[in-house]
Amino acid sequence: MEGKFAIKPKVLDKGFVELLDFCGTDLTVVNSARVSFGKRKETYETSDEKLVRYLAKHKHFSPFRHLIVQLHIKAPEFVMRQAYKHVVGIETSSSHSTKDHAWNEISGRYVPVEEFYLPEIWRQQSPDSKQASVGEIPLQEEAHERYENAIKLIKHNYEELLKLGVAKEQARIMLPLSQYTEVIWTASFQALMNFVELRDKPDSQWEIRKYAKAVKHVLHQIYPKTSEIWEETFFQK
């Protein structure tokens, strides 16, 4: 699958975040807000930037949700499960029948799993946090060898089960969270920036931070002024 835009930052060893489509421009936020006064502009000016800053500062978020982005993301399963929490959060916290997320994922029931994430560095468990890592372990080669041997064994037996005629939906239960998966994620600018804000933090897992930074890069490419204002308002504190 190839998008029509040349915005596709690579992430980790085999992953990426690709822009497939988007709706709106920086001016969309301005015009969505000014429609209350029956006004519409054709060019983005300094006064518009001031308005967007006001909207963000006072949390008038609805104009930002008129910016819609469709992404194709390829990531390890453990990263994608963390990302999906943001979709679930919107579904459960909003009473609106129409949500500002859509999420569809490749299915292991139809497509055999072939790729797995291979970390370049093995990190140490943080002594201060049960869920965090810090630095590198000294025995890198030994860790790589153990992991690669385990992946080879799993792949071999998974493929053997398929050869025996076992259904893909059942054979996949032996696969690890390092398997690569792919999704199409369509969401509003606000929803995606919320993901970036929460997942591009020092205490977030290193791998998902890489995806948060990639999503942020895409947003800055298509909505440069709005992204800049949003970050200055909510990120730099």
The set of catalytic residues is 199
Cβ contact 176:116 at 8 Å: yes
> How far, in Å, are 24, 138, 177, 232 from residue 213 at the CA level?
21, 28, 22, 16
Helical H runs in 37-76? 46-57
How large is the C-alpha radius of gyration of the chain?
Answer: 21
**Cα angle, residue 107 at apex, residues 101 and 113 outer, rounded to 5°:** 130
DSSP 8-state assignment for residue 4? S
- Tell me which residue of 127, 114, 121 sits closest to 156, measured CA to CA: 114
Which of 87, 92, 63 lies closest to 73 in space, CA to CA? 87
Specify the residue for token string 């291979």: 118
Position 84, amino acid: Y
Query: In terms of Cα–Cα distance, which of 62, 131, 56, 133 is closest to 94?
Result: 62
